[in-house]
C-alpha cells in the first residue's frame, strides 16, 4: 500500500447551521488527520444556489473554531489548492464533465425537469414507483445517445438547456472497501444515470466532489452514512476518469434520543437540548435555535460527547483531552450502527469538565457574570464562591445560583418558613446564637461549627432546632451549601446582620 500523505476534508454545504452530526464528522476527520500528521481541510460545497443561506458559512467557521478543531487549509484558511469554495471553482468543472462525454462515460440530456416529473408520476400510477433515468430508460429519452448528432450539436450551439448525465454501465459490479464496513458490492443495474452537470451551469455534488477530492489530493473520505448509496457512483466516476480512488469511511448516524430517525434540526428545542454548537438565528424566519455554547457547555465536553457517539477506545476511558483523542482515535474502532443521542450524559460530561477546571479559572469566568448581575466582588471572593458551589453545579452559571451569595435574602422560601420558623420562639434562639457568633474570633466554618456545638450543648438543644433557622436567615432557603460555609463566605459582620434582618422580617 502506498504511503500517501493523509489529507482529509470536511465538506459541508452552507444551507443552514451546522448541526452536531456535522461537527462529529469534522471531529473524526480532524482527529484522523492529526493522528497521522496529515492535513484537515474545509471545503464549502455551495453548488446549489437555491439552498444558499447567508451566514451559514461563517457559522461553520465559527463553530469549528469554538470547538477547537480548526482546519489547517481551506475556506477561511487558504492553502495551495485555493479556492476552496465550489462556487468559486465553477469554471473548473465543466471540462471534466465534457471529458467524460468524450470518453463515452457521460452524455448530454435535454429532457426538462417537468418531462421527467411526468414520467415519474405516470410510472407511479402504473405501480412502478422506482422509475430511474438509467441504462434502460435512457434509450427512450431525449439525449445525445438517442438523438441525431446534428440535432444535438445544433441544440448545444443554440444554448438549449441541457444536463450532462453519467452513463452508468449495465451488468457490472462495483466493489469497494469501506474502512468501517468492509467490502461492499453493488450492481450497476441498480444505479441510475446521475446528473453530473446541471443546466444552470453548476456541477452537482457528485461531480464537484470527485473532481475536488482528486485535485486536492484527498486520501480518505470520511463522511456520513447518508452518502453510502452514492459511493458506488463515486467509485465508478473515479474509474471513468482513471483516477485513484480515495479510501472511504461512512460514519453511522446520530439518532434522535426518543423515537426513531436521525437527529434533526428540530429535535433539539423540542426535547430541550441544543443540536447546534452555537446559537443560530434563521435569517429567513428569524427563528432561534439554541446552541451548546450559549447553554453553558464547555467545548471540550461537547467534543468529548461527540467523540464517544459512535467511537469507543476499547478500554474504559471516557474523559479525553484533545491530545488524548488524537492519540487514541482510529477509524477501525468506529461502530457500524447509529447512536441515539443522550442529553443526560452530555450534562454529566459537562459536570466532569466543570470540576476539572481550576477554581481560579472558574473565578475568571464568573466575574463578568457577577458584574452583569449587578454585584461587585473581588476575584478572591469569586473564587471562594466557585469552590463553595462546585458540588452542585453542572454549568458555570450554576455557580452563581442564589442571590444570597452577594446580598441578604430578600425573599424567604414560604414552605421552609412555615415548616421551621416559629414566630417569637425562633427569633429568641437566633438572637442568642447571634451573640454566640459575635464571639468567634477567627470566623471559619470549622470554628463556627465548634461554636454551634457548644451553643447547642449549653442550651440543651438539638441540631435541628438551630441549623435550619440559621440557614434560613442566611440564604432564605433550606437547601444549598452548609450554613457555616455560607457564613464564612459572607463574613461575621454580614452573618450577624442577616440574622438581625431575618429576625426582623420573620418575627
Partner RNA sequence: GGCCCGUUCGUCUAGGGGUUAGGACACCAGAUUUUCAUUCUGGUAACAGGGGUUCGAUUCCCCUACGGGCUACCA
* Interface stretch with RNA, choices 136-144, 278-286, 360-368, 482-490 (CB under 7 A): 482-490
Q: Is 350 in the site for RNA (CB under 7 A)?
A: no
Nearest to 263 by CA among 253, 277, 273: 253
Instruction: Indicate if 65 belongs to the active site.
Output: no
177, β-bridge pairs: 183
State the nearest-atom distance from the C-beta of 76 to RNA, in Å. 17
Near RNA in 240-279, by CB under 7 A:
252-253, 255, 257, 259-262
Give the interface segment with RNA, choosing from 59-67, 111-119, 265-273, 380-388 (CB under 7 A). 111-119
Q: Which is nearest to 253 in space by CA: 223, 290, 230, 232? A: 223
503 forms part of the interface with RNA (CB under 7 A): no
Min separation Cβ 209 and RNA, Å: 7
Binding of residue 314 to RNA (CB under 7 A): yes
Under DSSP, is residue 444 helix (H, G, I), strand (E, B) or coil? coil
| CA–CA separation, 293 and 67 (whole Å) | 9
Given 116, 295, 367, 440, the residue binding RNA (CB under 7 A):
116
CB of 229 to RNA, least distance (A): 4
Other CB atoms within a 10 A radius of the CB of residue 425 amount to 11
CB 379 within 8 A of CB 364: yes
Residue 292 in the binding site for RNA (CB under 7 A): no
DSSP code of residue 291: B
Judged by CB under 7 A, the stretch of 27-35, 63-71, 200-208, 496-504 that binds RNA is 200-208
The distance of closest approach from Cβ of residue 171 to RNA in the complex, given in angstroms and rounded to an integer, is 14
Could you say whether residue 104 binds RNA (CB under 7 A)?
no
Binding of RNA by 385 (CB under 7 A): no
CA distance 498 to 400: 19
Nearest in space to 143 (alpha carbons), one of 189, 72, 81, 195? 195
Radius of gyration of the chain (CA): 32
Please, which residue, 296 or 367, has the CB nearer to RNA? Answer: 296
How many whole angstroms separate alpha carbon 122 and alpha carbon 196? 25
Which distant-in-sequence residues (6+ apart) come within 8 Å of 401 by Cβ? 389, 393
Choice between 366 and 389, CB closer to RNA: 389
Q: How many residues does the chain have?
A: 507
Residue 471 interacts with RNA (CB under 7 A)? yes
Name which of 478 and 496 has its Cβ closer to RNA: 478
Q: Of the residues 4, 35, 265, 492, which is catalytic?
A: 265
Burial level of 474, CB count in 10 A (0-12/13-18/19+)?
Answer: buried
Of 350 and 427, the one with the shorter C-beta distance to RNA is: 350
Count of residues engaged in binding RNA, rule: CB under 7 A = 83
**Binding status of residue 172 toward RNA by CB under 7 A:** no
Q: Which helix (H) or strand (E) holds 109?
A: strand 106-109
Per-residue interface string for the shown chain with RNA, residues 395-424, x marking contact by CB under 7 A? ------------------------------
Binding segment (CB under 7 A) for RNA, from list 62-70, 89-97, 185-193, 379-387: 185-193
Q: Per CB under 7 A, does 25 bind RNA?
A: no
301 closest CA partner among 254, 234, 340, 347 = 347
Closer residue to RNA, CB minimum distance, 227 or 243: 227
As annotated, the active-site residues are 265
Amino acid at each position: 500500500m502506498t504511503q500517501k500523505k493523509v489529507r482529509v476534508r470536511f465538506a459541508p454545504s452552507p444551507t443552514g447551521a451546522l448541526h452536531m452530526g456535522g461537527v462529529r464528522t469534522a471531529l473524526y476527520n480532524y482527529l484522523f488527520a492529526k493522528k497521522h500528521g496529515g492535513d484537515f481541510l474545509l471545503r464549502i460545497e455551495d453548488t446549489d444556489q437555491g439552498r444558499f443561506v447567508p451566514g451559514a458559512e461563517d457559522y461553520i467557521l465559527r463553530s469549528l473554531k469554538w470547538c477547537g478543531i480548526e482546519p489547517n487549509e481551506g475556506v477561511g484558511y487558504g492553502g495551495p489548492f485555493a479556492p476552496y469554495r465550489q462556487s468559486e471553482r465553477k469554471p473548473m468543472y465543466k471540462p471534466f464533465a465534457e471529458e467524460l462525454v468524450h470518453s463515452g462515460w457521460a452524455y448530454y440530456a435535454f429532457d426538462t425537469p417537468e418531462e421527467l416529473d411526468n414520467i415519474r408520476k405516470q410510472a407511479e400510477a402504473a405501480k412502478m414507483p422506482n422509475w430511474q433515468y438509467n441504462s434502460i430508460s435512457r434509450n427512450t429519452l431525449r439525449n445525445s445517445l438517442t438523438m441525431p448528432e446534428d440535432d444535438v450539436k445544433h441544440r448545444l450551439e443554440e444554448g438549449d438547456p441541457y444536463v450532462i448525465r453519467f452513463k452508468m454501465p449495465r451488468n457490472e459490479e462495483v466493489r469497494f472497501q469501506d474502512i468501517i464496513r468492509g467490502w461492499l458490492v453493488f450492481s450497476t443495474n441498480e444505479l441510475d444515470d446521475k446528473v453530473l452537470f446541471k443546466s444552470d451551469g453548476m456541477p452537482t455534488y457528485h461531480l464537484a466532489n470527485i473532481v475536488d477530492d482528486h485535485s486536492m489530493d484527498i486520501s480518505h473520505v470520511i463522511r456520513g452514512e447518508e452518502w453510502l448509496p452514492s459511493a458506488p457512483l463515486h467509485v465508478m466516476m473515479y474509474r471513468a476518469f482513471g483516477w485513484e480512488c480515495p479510501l472511504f469511511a461512512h460514519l453511522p448516524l446520530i439518532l434522535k434520543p426518543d423515537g426513531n430517525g436521525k437527529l434533526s434540526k428540530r429535535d433539539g428545542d423540542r426535547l430541550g437540548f441544543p443540536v447546534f454548537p452555537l446559537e443560530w438565528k434563521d435569517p429567513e424566519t428569524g427563528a432561534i435555535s439554541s446552541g451548546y455554547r450559549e447553554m453553558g457547555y464547555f467545548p471540550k465536553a461537547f467534543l468529548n460527547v461527540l467523540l464517544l457517539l459512535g467511537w469507543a477506545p476499547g478500554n474504559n476511558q471516557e474523559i479525553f483531552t484533545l491530545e488524548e483523542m488524537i492519540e487514541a482515535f482510529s477509524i477501525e474502532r468506529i461502530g457500524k450502527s447509529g447512536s441515539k443521542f443522550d442529553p443526560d450524559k452530555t450534562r454529566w460530561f459537562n459536570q466532569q469538565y466543570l470540576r476539572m477546571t481550576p477554581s481560579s479559572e472558574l473565578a475568571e469566568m464568573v466575574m463578568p457574570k457577577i458584574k452583569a448581575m449587578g454585584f461587585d466582588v473581588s476575584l478572591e471572593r469569586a473564587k471562594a464562591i466557585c469552590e463553595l458551589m462546585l458540588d452542585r453545579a453542572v454549568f458555570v452559571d450554576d455557580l452563581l445560583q442564589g442571590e444570597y451569595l452577594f446580598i441578604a435574602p430578600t425573599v424567604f422560601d414560604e414552605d421552609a418558613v412555615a415548616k421551621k420558623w416559629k414566630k417569637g420562639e425562633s427569633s429568641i434562639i437566633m438572637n442568642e446564637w447571634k451573640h454566640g457568633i459575635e464571639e468567634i474570633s477567627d470566623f471559619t466554618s470549622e470554628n463556627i461549627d465548634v461554636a454551634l456545638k457548644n451553643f447547642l450543648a449549653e442550651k440543651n438543644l438539638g441540631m435541628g432546632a438551630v441549623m435550619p433557622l440559621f440557614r434560613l436567615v442566611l440564604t432564605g432557603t433550606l437547601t444549598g451549601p452548609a450554613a457555616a460555609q455560607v457564613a464564612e463566605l459572607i463574613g461575621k459582620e454580614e452573618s450577624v446582620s442577616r440574622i438581625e434582618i431575618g429576625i426582623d422580617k420573620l418575627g
